[in-house]
DNA sequence: TTTGAGCGTCATCAGGTGGTAACAACGGAG
DNA sequence: CTCCGTTGTTACCACCTGATGACGCTCAAA
């Protein structure tokens, strides 16, 4: 992602990471081009109004270098002539601000789908790997079989990692408001989950108990 | 080009031909789908508001059939949710009317620039071979006869291999929004498909059950 | 009109899943 | 040190889910 506006950068990065993408960013054209050359990312998000090298120039040089990843231009310049110019320079899509985050994500997914890349959805915590796309968990390549509830709980934890969660929050999120279950069910689910994913279930390192409150997942 | 509004059809066709493209057109969804199947064009321009089959349905069926040409959706429906839905159905771009002819041409050019490559039509998973061009499946040279629904399901699985798919996703993709069928029908179809393509149907290795969710195809 | 293939639904069954209860362990307060 | 509230653990069993055989509807070909 090559973008100099910090607000947009952070907002987008958040969304992309939540969707499972790994994001690297640069704040100006030269850095951005360098990053694209060395990192060879699966896709480039490119702001056009940049200090240093202009976005158009970055895109042109990316293509001159023979880099073939999709490039999505991101800009406030919405006039047709601008769009045409951007696309003719080798961009694959051209999205004008203000844009809907959902649309941008869908366009990114569409481009990656074309390029035969798996759209990533894998979270890694230490040696533990949670593949949200495949709904699978593994440690060092060995699959860990989880029941649906255990998986749902773990998935929720990965999305809220680092935060202390009350049993009520966990119930709402994993069991849903329909379910009439006890707090104790959370305890039990946590216990069985620990027994499967913790290296040492007696001394849990991934799922910490927060007394009087609930649990915290260390990610 | 699948478009029922004659004014737009003629206007666009003119422009496209002047730019050197060969254009064939259909005025409703069924004809359009048939044309795409037989002609195998390099790109499909698809209006969403169509008599007969809706544009969404046409796009879905194009993908179900394993046709991989770029699809550009063309519509007056500009809401973000619509755009996201279209792209998720397998469209490559989504342009809202009124659009600038120059921008549309640039977007078409960008897609064709990318898509010159030939796409492999045969997918191999273990000893199983799925020939999407011929719509045929075989194991070690021996053809496996599949009914249309079974083949559609398998084809969908090969395109989403490795991902956990909900029954709803499978229904949407394979049965289509028109069909009013139960989740259980997915189960049934999976069972019969397993009985034909699995080495050991009782211990499926290709199609895994993902409890509470649906199925996952191991590719 | 008959026949058969394809496919959706139903009923049944086996096995897995998860909630609860009961008890153990733990830890903080006094 | 004791008490008590909270958390961890185990056992049990009701319930749900998915697999599958059976059935019937629809449609197209003979």
Contacts of B100 in chain A (CB under 8 A): 80, 83
Predicted confidence at residue B118, as pLDDT, reads: 45
Q: Would you tell me which residues 159-218 of chain B have a C-beta closer than 8 angstroms to some C-beta of chain A?
A: 162-164, 210-213, 216
pLDDT in tens, B39-69: 889 999 999 988 878 898 899 888 877 788 9
- The answer to whether A153 CB sits below 7 Å from nucleic acid chain D is no
Taking one residue from A and the other from B, the number of pairs with CB-CB distance under 8 angstroms is: 69
pLDDT in tens, B182-194: 899 999 999 999 9
Does any domain span residue B1? no
pLDDT in tens, B137-163: 999 889 999 999 999 999 999 988 889
- The answer to whether A208 CB sits below 7 Å from nucleic acid chain D is no
- Last residue of one domain, picked from the residues B114, B135, B163: B114
Q: Do A88 and B100 touch (CB under 8 A)?
A: no
The whole-angstrom distance between residue A127's C-alpha and the CA centroid of its chain comes to 19
Beta carbons within 10 angstroms of residue B115's beta carbon: 16
Contacts of B114 in chain A (CB under 8 A): 70, 92, 114
The reply to whether A96 and A184 lie within a common domain is: no
Output the six-digit token pair for B58. Answer: 């046409």
User: Distance, in angstroms, between A83 CA and closest chain B CA?
Assistant: 6
* CATH code where residue B14 lies: 3.40.50.2300
The reply to whether B72 and B153 lie within a common domain is: no
Average pLDDT score over chain B = 88
Domain count, chain A: 2
List phi, psi (to 5°) of A142: -90, 125
Residue in chain B lying closest to A147 (CA): B211
Q: State the residue for tokens 């027994």.
A: A195
Query: Using an 8 Å Cβ cutoff, are B146 and A116 in contact?
Result: no
The reply to whether A107 and A202 lie within a common domain is: no
Q: Find the mean pLDDT for residues B209-213.
A: 93
Q: Domain range spanning residue B57?
A: 6-114
pLDDT in tens, B161-170: 889 999 998 9
Which nucleotide is the nearest neighbour of B184, by CA and C1'? C9
Output the six-digit token pair for A94. Answer: 């051209």
The reply to whether B25 and B70 lie within a common domain is: yes
User: Distance, in angstroms, between B164 CA and closest chain A CA?
Assistant: 5
The reply to whether A27 and A107 lie within a common domain is: yes
| DSSP class per residue in chain B | -B---HHHHHHHHHHHHHTT-----BSSHHHHHHHHHHH--S-EEEESS-SSS-HHHHHHHHHHTT--S-EEEEES---HHHHHHHHHTT-SEEEESS--HHHHHHHHHHHHHHTTSPPP-EEEETTEEEETTTTEEEETTEEE---HHHHHHHHHHHHTTTSEEEHHHHIIIII-TT----HHHHHHHHHHHHHHH-SSTTS-SSEEEETTTEEEE--
- Last residue of one domain, picked from the residues B98, B114, B130: B114
* CATH code where residue A190 lies: 1.10.10.10
The series of mean pLDDT values per 10 residues for chain A, 219 residues long, is 92 86 90 91 92 90 88 87 90 89 93 71 84 90 91 92 90 79 89 91 87 88
Predicted confidence at residue B164, as pLDDT, reads: 94
Does any domain span residue A59? yes
The reply to whether B36 and B99 lie within a common domain is: yes
Å between CA of B53 and C1' of C5: 27
Residue in chain B lying closest to A83 (CA): B103
């Amino acid at each position: 992602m090559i973008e100099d506006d910090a607000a947009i950068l952070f907002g987008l990065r958040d969304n992309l990471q939540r969707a499972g993408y790994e994001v690297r960013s640069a704040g100006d054209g030269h850095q951005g081009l360098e990053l694209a050359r060395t990192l060879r990312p699966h896709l480039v998000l490119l702001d056009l109004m940049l200090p240093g090298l202009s976005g158009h120039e970055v895109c042109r040089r990316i293509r001159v270098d023979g880099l073939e990843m999709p490039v999505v231009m991101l800009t406030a310049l919405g006039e047709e002539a601008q769009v045409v110019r951007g696309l003719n320079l080798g961009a694959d899509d051209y999205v004008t601000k203000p844009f809907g985050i959902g649309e941008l994500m869908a366009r990114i997914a569409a481009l990656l789908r074309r390029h035969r890349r798996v759209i990533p959805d894998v979270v890694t915590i230490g040696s533990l790997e949670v593949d949200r796309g495949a709904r699978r968990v593994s440690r060092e390549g060995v699959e860990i079989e989880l029941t649906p509830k255990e998986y749902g709980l773990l998935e929720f934890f990965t999305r809220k990692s680092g935060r202390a969660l009350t049993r009520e929050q966990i119930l709402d999120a994993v069991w849903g408001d329909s379910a009439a279950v006890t707090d104790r069910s959370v305890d039990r689910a946590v216990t069985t989950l620990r027994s499967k994913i913790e290296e040492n279930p007696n001394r849990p390192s991934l799922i910490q108990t927060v007394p009087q409150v609930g649990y915290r997942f260390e990610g």
